[in-house]
Structure 1
Amino acid sequence: MKVLHVVPTFYPATYWGGPIWSTKAICDGIAKLDDVDLRVLTSDAAGPAINDRVTPTKLPYPVYYAHRMAGHCIAPQLLLRLPRAIQWADVVHVTGTYNMPTLPVFILARALGKPVVWSPRGALQATQDWPDAPNLAIKRGFEHVANLLRPRNAVLHVTAAQEARQSLRRFGGMAHAIIPNAVDVPAHVPRRERQGPKRRLMYLSRLHPKKGLEALFDALAHLPATFTLDIYGTGDASYVRMLEARARLSNGRVRMHGHVEGAAKSAAFAQADLFVLPSHSENFGIVVAEALAHAVPVLTTQATPWQDLDRHGCGRCIDLPNVDLAAQIAALATCDLVDMGQRGRAWMRRDFSTAAMVDGFEALYRGLVMQKRQEVIA
Structure 2
Amino acid sequence: MRILHIIATLNPEAGGPVESVRVLLSYGPIGYVGEVVTLDDPEAPFLRDFSFPVHALGPTRTVYGFNSKLLPWLIKNRGRFDGVVVNGLWQYCGFAAWRALAGNTPYVVFTHGMLDPYFKYAFPLKHLKKWLYWVPAEYRILRDAYRVLFTSTAEKRLAEQSFWLHRWTPYVVPYGAKNPPDKPSEILKEAFYEKCPEVRGKRFLLFLGRIHKKKGCDMLIQAFSKVASKDPELELVMAGPDQQQWTATLQTMAKKLGIAHRVHWPGMITGDGKWGAFYASEVFVLPSHQENFGIAVAESLGCAKPVLLADKVNIAEDIAHDGAGLMEQDTLDGTIRLLDRWIAMSQQEREAMSQRAYECFHRRYDMRENAIAIIRLFESATVHPEEPISANGKQ
Q: What TM bracket, shorter-length normalisation?
A: 0.7 to 0.9
- The match for 1:20 is 18
Measure, in 2, the Cα distance between the counterparts of 1:177 and 1:346: 25
Change (3 A) 1:88 1:217: same
Give 1:235's match in structure 2, choosing from 235, 242, 252: 242
Following TM superposition, by how much is the alpha carbon of 1:156 offset from its aligned partner in structure 2, in angstroms?
0.6
- The match for 2:39 is 43
Change (3 A) 1:28 1:229: same
Instruction: Single out whichever of 229-238 and 318-327 deviates more from structure 2.
Output: 318-327
* Percent identity (aligned): 22
Following TM superposition, by how much is the alpha carbon of 1:58 offset from its aligned partner in structure 2, in angstroms?
5.5
Change (3 A) 1:179 1:149: closer
Give 1:306's match in structure 2, choosing from 292, 309, 316: 316
Measure, in 2, the Cα distance between the counterparts of 1:92 and 1:65: 16
- The match for 1:275 is 284
Change (3 A) 1:347 1:150: closer
Is the aligned partner of 1:251 residue 2:251? no
Q: Which amino acid aligns with 1:174?
A: W
Note the residue ranges of structure 1 that are not aligned, 5 or more in a row: 47-51, 193-197
- The match for 2:381 is 368
Measure, in 2, the Cα distance between the counterparts of 1:313 and 1:98: 37
Mapping for residues 1-378 of structure 1, pairs under 5 Å: 1-10=1-10, 13-29=11-27, 31-34=28-31, 38-44=34-40, 53-57=44-48, 59-72=50-63, 73-110=65-102, 112-125=103-116, 127=118, 130-132=121-123, 135-144=126-135, 145-150=137-142, 152-169=144-161, 170=163, 172-186=166-180, 189=185, 200-225=204-229, 226=232, 227-249=234-256, 250-304=259-313, 305-321=315-331, 323-335=333-345, 336-372=349-385
Q: Which amino acid aligns with 1:53?
A: A
Q: Which amino acid aligns with 1:298?
A: V
Following TM superposition, by how much is the alpha carbon of 1:164 offset from its aligned partner in structure 2, in angstroms?
0.6
The Cα offsets for residues 206-242 of structure 1, whole Å up to 9 and x where unpaired, read as 1111111111111112113423210110122432332
8 Å contact 1:291–1:298 — kept in the other structure?
Answer: yes
Measure, in 2, the Cα distance between the counterparts of 1:342 and 1:301: 21
8 Å contact 2:70–2:96 — kept in the other structure?
Answer: no
SS of 2:55's equivalent in the other structure is strand
Q: What's the TM-score once normalised by structure 2's chain length?
A: 0.82
Note the residue ranges of structure 2 that are not aligned, 5 or more in a row: 190-201, 389-395
Aligned pair count? 359
- The match for 2:196 is none
Instruction: Single out whichever of 144-153 and 276-285 deviates more from structure 2.
Output: 144-153
Following TM superposition, by how much is the alpha carbon of 1:108 offset from its aligned partner in structure 2, in angstroms?
2.0
Following TM superposition, by how much is the alpha carbon of 1:129 offset from its aligned partner in structure 2, in angstroms?
6.7
Instruction: Single out whichever of 161-170 and 239-248 deviates more from structure 2.
Output: 239-248
Measure, in 2, the Cα distance between the counterparts of 1:88 and 1:317: 45
Q: Which amino acid aligns with 2:204?
A: R
Q: Which amino acid aligns with 1:245?
A: T
Change (3 A) 1:184 1:38: closer
Report the RMSD for the aligned CA atoms in angstroms.
Answer: 2.8
Measure, in 2, the Cα distance between the counterparts of 1:118 and 1:149: 8
